[in-house]
């Protein structure tokens, strides 16, 4: 069983027990180091493949946060010759390391 989830602008293929490194964003629902990821685009449960339009509303992916990481520093340097214009900026992206616990399908009342 695996799922394709969308977090921010990126898509990840996950299955139970996987550890993924995602960019830290504000839209993730946190509860005591537990995380609920709801943007499921595709689900393969072994019997059938379900594709959302754009998301599957009755599928959730849950996980736990293992660690908070920082990426390497990127330097942004702007320069214009003969104009005394120089700007130096740095950026260091924050990441979350998440272990996928369960892929949960809610029962539909049809």
| pLDDT (tens digit per residue) in 12-64 | 999 999 999 999 877 676 777 888 888 999 999 889 999 999 999 999 999 99
In what helix (H) or strand (E) does residue 75 lie, and over which residues does it extend?
Answer: strand 74-80
CB atoms under 10 Å from CB of 46, counted, come to 7
pTM attached to this predicted model: 0.80
Residue 109 lies in a domain: no
Residue 110 lies in a domain: no
- Residue-range definition of the domain harbouring residue 100: 2-104
Residue 51 lies in a domain: yes
| pLDDT tens digits along 70-82 | 999 999 999 999 9
Residue 68 lies in a domain: yes
The tally of domains found in the chain comes to 1
CA–CA separation, 34 and 28 (whole Å): 10
């Amino acid at each position: 069983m695996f799922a394709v989830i969308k977090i921010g602008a990126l898509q990840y293929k996950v299955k139970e027990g996987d550890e993924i490194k995602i960019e830290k964003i504000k839209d993730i629902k946190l509860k005591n180091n537990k995380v609920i990821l709801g943007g499921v685009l595709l689900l393969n449960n072994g019997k059938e493949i379900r594709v959302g339009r754009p998301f599957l509303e009755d599928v959730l992916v849950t996980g736990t946060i293992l660690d908070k990481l920082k990426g390497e520093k990127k330097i942004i340097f702007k320069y214009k010759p003969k104009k005394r214009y120089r700007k130096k900026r740095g950026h260091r992206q924050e990441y979350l390391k998440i272990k996928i616990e369960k892929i949960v399908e809610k029962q539909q009342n049809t």
